[in-house]
Structure 1
Amino acid sequence: MSDVSVDEVRRTALDRIEQSERHHRAAFVGAAVVEASFLAGFLLLADFSDRTHVLLLLATIAIYTILAFGLFALGAHVNHNTRRVLKAIELLGSRSADDGR
């Protein structure tokens, strides 16, 4: 495999990773805005003297907390795997450079 093709593969992989990360962030921000608007609407419309509304609020907060922890764990896992892929690409490039000497 020539150095040009390895560099092209590396560049293409990095571009795809960056594009995927941008799309993920945009989707996450969009979902956060929608969910925040639903929560704000609930807080504005809820009758807190009604125990059912208070229970719904507490259940919502509990569910969001669990989901947030899961998303943080998933994000850490994805970042770890991305670093492994980037390290493999870097080692492939350095090995190709050593073979060319």
Structure 2
Amino acid sequence: MPTRAQRPRLPEVSESQRQARQAWNQGKTGTSRPAEGAPVVERCSVDGCGSTADQPQPNASMVRVQGPGSTDSARWYCPGRCAAVGRALADLRSIGHGGGAR
């Protein structure tokens, strides 16, 4: 039996085939946007989130995050998602400084 790459692809000519593809893609059509210019994580709109920890704690609920063995200064983040993103960024920054997983 021929492999999938060897089988010819039949064009979608019927309306039912087009509707089935659109249903499979949850109504999305066209080409997807390039990820090159899109930010991986949207910026937080809370004042003081991501600010360096050499400043006073902006909010009582802010969490101080610093990567293991990192020479970068610690930062204040919102608890939850922002703190998790901050920890991941701190870990990535510390890779070249002798800390973090390799």
Return the structure number with greater helix share.
1
- Compute the TM-score of the two structures, normalised by the length of structure 1: 0.27
For normalisation by structure 2, the TM-score amounts to: 0.26
More strand by share: 2
Larger relative contact order (Cα-Cα within 8 Å, sequence gap ≥ 6): 1
